[in-house]
Amino acid sequence: MLCPRCGAEMKEGDRFCSSCGSVIEHIEKVEVGKKICPKCGTELVEGVTVCSSCGARISEISMEKASAGARFGSYILDSIIVGVMGFILGFVLEPIASFLGLLISVGYYTYFFGNGQTLGMKAAKIKLCGTDGTYPIGYAKGFLRWIGMIISGLVIGLGYLWILIDENKQGWHDKIAGTYVVVE
């Protein structure tokens, strides 16, 4: 026998539930799966919302197991909701990440251009110098060259391709900053 209030296992003839303390003396055996009033233990007819014995409101909780299709559909919907929230958070945090990426980029190129060589240039054994022969070019020209790199890439990379046709092998970024890239 089960307690109608908490569902705890009970012995035949118990008058009180040892788990929740409910009075059960008037309750007879309750079959598992039958709907009973949680207040008085009266067996209920399917679909009732009020117990006919004590007047307690009965919740309409169904115990039918969900189908695999319903569960999968629920999972898909939850995934969409979580995905949208992730997208929104990513969108909110993205400007911060982009800004940090921008700071790293401008810092790296300004510093290394200003000192005449990026790490990649060092590995390739090339360096930057001013069109007047100045070496290193300094941070102001290094920053200007970084701005020029952005401009060079804006028009389908034409500013970079310019190096192939320019007599001094300068890209737009070199022309903007007044620099040459020379062999070390």
Tell me how many domains the chain contains: 2
How does pLDDT run across 144-160, given as a tens digit for each residue? Answer: 999 998 998 898 889 98
Same domain, 90 and 15: no
Query: What is the span of the domain harbouring residue 15?
Result: 1-64
- From 22, 45, 64, give the residue that closes a domain: 64
Same domain, 53 and 103: no
CB atoms within 10 A of CB 102: 10
Are 131 and 178 in contact by the 8 Å Cβ rule? The answer is: yes
CB atoms within 10 A of CB 1: 17
Are 109 and 142 in contact by the 8 Å Cβ rule? The answer is: yes
Same domain, 177 and 143: yes
Same domain, 3 and 55: yes
- From 64, 83, 114, give the residue that closes a domain: 64
Same domain, 56 and 74: no
Same domain, 22 and 79: no
Same domain, 110 and 37: no
CA atoms of 148 and 133, how far apart (whole Å): 19
Same domain, 32 and 111: no
pLDDT at 140: 95
Same domain, 37 and 98: no
Same domain, 48 and 86: no
Same domain, 58 and 40: yes
Tell me which range, 35-39, 57-61, 69-73, 111-115, is most confidently predicted by mean pLDDT.
111-115
CA atoms of 49 and 63, how far apart (whole Å): 16
How does pLDDT run across 99-141, given as a tens digit for each residue? Answer: 777 888 888 999 988 998 888 888 887 888 888 777 889 999 9
Q: Which residue has the higher pLDDT, 32 or 95?
A: 95
- From 64, 94, 110, give the residue that closes a domain: 64
Assess whether the previous peptide bond of 38 is cis (omega < 30° from 0).
no
Same domain, 58 and 84: no
